[in-house]
Amino acid sequence: MVGSGGREHALCWAIAASPLCDKLYCAPGNPGIAEEAELVAIAAMELDRIVDFAREKSIDLVVVGPEPPLVAGLVDKLDAAGIKAFGPRAAAAALEGSKGFTKDFCARHKIPTAAYQRFTDAGKASAYVRQKGAPIVVKADGLAAGKGVTVARTVDEALAAVADALVGGRFGSAGASVVVEEFLEGEIASFFALIDGVDVLPLQSVQDHKAVGDGETGPNTGGMGAYAPVAAMTPAMEQQVMDRIVRPTVRAMAAEGAPYKGVLFTELMICRDGPKLIEFNVRFGDPECQVLMMRLKSDLVPALVAACDGELKSFDLRWHADAVLTVVLAAKGYPDTPKPGGAIGGLDRASALPGVKIFQAGTKLDAAGRLVAAGGRVLNVTARAPDVAEAQALAYRAVDLVDFPDGFCRRDIGWRAVPSRAR
Ligand code: AMP
């Protein structure tokens, strides 16, 4: 496993439980992942060191968690070395690596998404913003760790976002080009599918909560909590997403010479006139993955191998009927300036509640061997129960047993499913 967050902890937890797994390494991992895997001190972007390590240990399967090494071509390098790897090659990872690429791809293949224009010139971008008016959305083209998107309520806010990216260089080369697009009104949902280059195995839908504050207030984050099932994602809606967005994308990527393999994370706005693509991600969502892994009943490993080997066609996975909800505990100051080093306690008693699992994200052991915060999103307190309301109640019961004075969380994760019980 490559990566070190809550997503990778959940994946390691699922992989380690497989009878097919006799040894699991994680580079670089975190103290929670160390309970499932042997940690290797190689960073996720040290691509050549990862390939060398995999060769040296005769690794049978490498699973890449985060997007930067995928976009940088880790899977291409592993393929070249004859090592089986789960995740898209760089050419297919452009579906996340360049928003402009994806918008043009959607336009070519009539995949429903917000109307847009691409700009490298601040004057032209500003003129377009003034012509269209607010609300309007400004996005840095490249990877910006979830911070490159401004949903502008006013023209001034949009102009400032354009200037930040194209004049101020706020996102470096990732923001040297921007997409300015139509604001879509609707409900956000994430849909996941495994893809083997040709065939698609739908997984499940999950709903994330991007804003840092209760009631969807404050700046956007990587995600403050998630749950499934999502009521708006009915079987009919999932079928539309498959027919209008996912399958056409897989066909077109293959036709364009960049067949897609791995997991495709389709972020959607469910609008009045049907689902529209907000963006693709070329990896599991974080914290959506934690929810998926807790709902998955089948062994994950054969599915990952089938995606690598082009054998998804007749593959099937079984899921728990129960709901799962995860609450992110973040360090105070997140997303701008998370406070590092805050002490964490109470994980054992919180995890002892039946149906609760705590995944670790930004954690480390300090010099004295105590668990402390080392990142923005620190813990994912995850609960499985018969319905979303019960999963929510159980997750917050566990949250309240965790001792993390320098942390905070939203108290309303799952509010669309449990509106009367915002906690
Ligand atoms: P992204 O990084 O593309 O996932 O965007 C971050 C968040 O901004 C999304 O989860 C949406 O809530 C919001 N967003 C992005 N694009 C649009 C859009 N065209 N219309 C409305 N909201 C959007």
Query: How remote is the CA of residue 139 from the centroid of ligand 1, in Å?
Result: 9
- pLDDT value, residue 146: 66
Least trusted range by pLDDT, from 115-129, 136-150, 232-246, 254-268: 136-150
Residue 195 has pLDDT above 80, yes or no: yes
What is the average pLDDT value for the chain, to the nearest integer? 94
Return the pLDDT at 165. 85
On the question of pLDDT at 57 being above 60, the answer is: yes
pLDDT value for 166: 82
Ligand 1 contact via 187 beta carbon (within 6 Å): no
pLDDT band at 147 (very low <50, low <70, confident <90, very high): confident
Distance 310 CA to ligand 1 centre (A): 32
For ligand 1, say whether the CB of 146 is within 6 Å of any of its atoms.
yes
CA of 100 to the centre of ligand 1 (A): 15
- SS3 for 53? helix
Mean pLDDT (whole number) for 157-162: 89
Percentage of the residues of the chain whose pLDDT score is greater than 70: 99
Q: How far apart are CA 246 and CA 253, in angstroms?
A: 11
Does 120 have pLDDT greater than 90? no
Q: For position 169, what pLDDT does the model report?
A: 72
Residue of 132 and 414 predicted with greater confidence = 414
Domain segments of the chain as ranges: 2-89, 115-182, 187-309, 323-417
Nearest alpha carbon, ligand 1 atom 15: 278
Q: What is the mean pLDDT of residues 115-129?
A: 88
Question: How far does the centroid of ligand 1 lie from the alpha carbon of residue 146, in Å?
Answer: 10
Task: Please check the confidence at residue 6 and state whether its pLDDT lies above 70.
Answer: yes
238: closest CA among 279, 197, 206, 262? Answer: 206
Which of 25-39, 162-176, 217-231, 293-307 shows the lowest mean pLDDT across its residues? 162-176
Q: Name the CATH superfamily housing domain 323-417.
A: Phosphoribosylglycinamide synthetase, C-terminal domain (3.90.600.10)
Alpha carbons 251 and 102: distance in angstroms, whole number:
14
Provide mean pLDDT across the span 146-151.
81
Please give the single-letter amino acid code of residue 88.
Answer: P
Q: Which atom of ligand 1 is nearest to the CA of 208?
A: 10
Q: What is the pLDDT of residues 105-117, one digit of tens each?
A: 999 999 999 989 8
Nearest alpha carbon, ligand 1 atom 5:
149
Ligand 1 atom closest to Cα of residue 139: 3
Q: What is the mean pLDDT of residues 384-404?
A: 98
* Whole-Å CA distances, 396 to 93, 400, 409: 36, 6, 10
CA distances from residue 305 to 87, 196, 308 in whole angstroms, order as listed: 11, 9, 5
The model's pLDDT over 324-353, given as tens digits with 9 standing for 90+, comes to 999 999 999 999 899 999 999 999 999 999
- Our answer on whether the CB atom of 220 is closer than 6 Å to any ligand 1 atom is yes
Residue 421's pLDDT band (cuts 50, 70, 90): low
User: Given the DSSP bridges, would you call strands 356-360 and 377-385 parallel, antiparallel or unpaired?
Assistant: antiparallel
**Class of domain 115-182 as given by CATH:** alpha beta
Atom number of ligand 1 nearest to Cα 186: 21
Which of 132, 10, 2, 110 lies closest to 377 in space, CA to CA?
Answer: 10
User: Residue 220 forms beta bridges with which residues?
Assistant: 211
pLDDT of residue 420: 67
Pocket of ligand 1 contains residue 149 by CB under 6 Å: yes
Q: Is 184 in the pocket of ligand 1 (CB under 6 A)?
A: yes
Q: Which residue has the tokens 């700046």?
A: 219
List b or e across 51-63, with b for residues whose CB sees 16 or more CB atoms inside 10 angstroms.
Answer: bebbeeeebebbb
Range in 92-96, 292-296, 381-385, 415-419 the model is least confident about: 415-419
Pocket of ligand 1 contains residue 267 by CB under 6 Å? yes
Mutating to test ligand 1, I would choose from 129, 149, 179 the residue with most ligand atoms within 8 A of its C-beta, which is 149
Q: Which fold has domain 2-89?
A: Rossmann fold (3.40.50)
Give residue 117's pLDDT.
87
pLDDT at res. 59: 98
* Predicted TM-score (pTM) above 0.75: yes
Query: What percentage of the chain carries pLDDT values higher than 90?
Result: 81
CB 80 within 8 A of CB 95: no
pLDDT at 267 over 80: yes
Q: Cα(118) to centroid of ligand 1, in Å?
A: 16
308 neighbors 263 (Cβ within 8 angstroms): no
51-55, 111-115, 291-295: range with lowest mean pLDDT = 111-115
Mutate-to-test residue for ligand 1 from 209, 278, 282, 286, highest number of ligand atoms within 8 A of CB: 278
Q: What is d(CA 327, CA 334) in angstroms, rounded to the nearest whole number?
A: 15
Asked if 26 and 33 touch (Cβ cutoff 8 Å), the reply is yes
pLDDT score at 168: 74
Which ligand 1 atom sits closest to the C-alpha of 114? 19
Q: Which of 49, 57, 56 is nearest to 27 (CA)?
A: 49
Name the architecture of domain 187-309. 2-Layer Sandwich (3.30)
Residue pLDDT, tens place only, 7-48: 999 999 999 999 999 999 999 999 999 999 999 999 999 999
State the average pLDDT over residues 167-174. 75
Looking from the CA of residue 185, the nearest atom of ligand 1 is 21
SS3 sequence, 175-190?
Answer: HCCEEEEECCCCEEEE
CA of 149 to the centre of ligand 1 (A): 7
Question: Going by DSSP bridges, is the β-strand pair 38-39/25-28 parallel, antiparallel, or unpaired?
Answer: parallel
